[in-house]
Amino acid sequence: MFAKKHDAGYIPVAEGIERKTLVHGKNTLMTEFVLKKNAVLPAHQHPQEQTGYLVSGHMFLTIGETVQEVRPGDSWMIPGNVEHQAKIVADSVAVEVFSPVRDDYLTG
């Protein structure tokens, strides 16, 4: 699968946070998140393992009991079924990969 950049397809996740599924295969799915300053991604968990990379911006990411300041170029891994949340300090863009594929991200 190959996808070209375009501005359509963003879906609201929470106030100030949108996501767009970029590409997916049999075992992985890549998503872009656009996060606005002062937005909060509420604590949640899911069975998929999640790896991420901050393209731009600044945020604090909590994984389990650990809080980490995240700047552009930083990356992370969240094991499946571990609670996590994010507090966005500046407008940010993150790219994350989920495995196995999140079916809910295929249908919007």
Is residue 6 situated within a structural domain?
no
Is residue 36 situated within a structural domain?
yes
pLDDT digits (tens, 9 = 90+) for 67-97: 999 999 999 999 999 999 999 999 999 999 9
Is residue 4 situated within a structural domain?
no
Extract the tokens encoding 96. Answer: 């994350």
Q: For residue 75, which amino acid is it?
A: S
- Say how many domains are in the chain: 1
Cα separation values, 101 from 7, 18, 46, 57, 81, Å: 23, 19, 11, 26, 14
Q: For the whole model, what pTM was predicted? A: 0.94
Q: Return the pLDDT at 108.
A: 57
